[in-house]
Amino acid sequence: MKGKLITRDTDYAVRALCFMAINEEEIMPVDKLVEELKIPRPFLRKIMQMLNKKGILHSYKGKGGGFALSVSPDRIFLTDLIEVFQGPLKLNECIFKKNICPNINTCPLKKRIDKIEDYIKTQLQSISLHSLLEKNSKI
């Protein structure tokens, strides 16, 4: 992961999946998601295809087609989506002049950053799609 903790694609995926989870329709047309969420169609199509490829969604082709959740919202976690769109969550790569830092095993800063990273991962792993849909959460 480089740059932002949550990228645009991950954010769009969370928004689309939450919308799908709270709506009664089993198969959600992309056009409805584009209209309701104001997400540009090309981005949304790419995101939905990636989620389909990873088994989080199932796609239906043809008239009346669209996407449906393949996984229960309580089994879809923010860390899953981060990994799909951003790769493994890593705060510090310990790169020094394009090589692994020679002090990686003894660096006191790395040890502290590793603890922070573990804490952040634990917190993010506790956020399921279902938890985002709870009464006090806002999408």
Q: Which residues contact 128 (CB under 8 A, 6 or more apart)?
A: 73, 74, 75, 76, 77, 78
> In terms of pTM, does the model score above 0.95?
no
Flag whether pLDDT at 139 surpasses 90.
no
Nearest to 123 by CA among 91, 85, 95: 91
Which pLDDT does position 135 carry in this prediction? 65
Domain 8-133: assigned CATH number: 1.10.10.10
Taking only the tens place, the pLDDT of each residue in 55-109 is 999 999 988 899 999 999 999 999 999 999 999 887 777 776 778 888 888 888 8
pLDDT at 1 over 70: no
Nearest by Cα to 34 from 66, 73, 77: 66
Q: Domain residue spans in the chain?
A: 8-133
Strand duo 95-96 + 66-69: pairing: unpaired
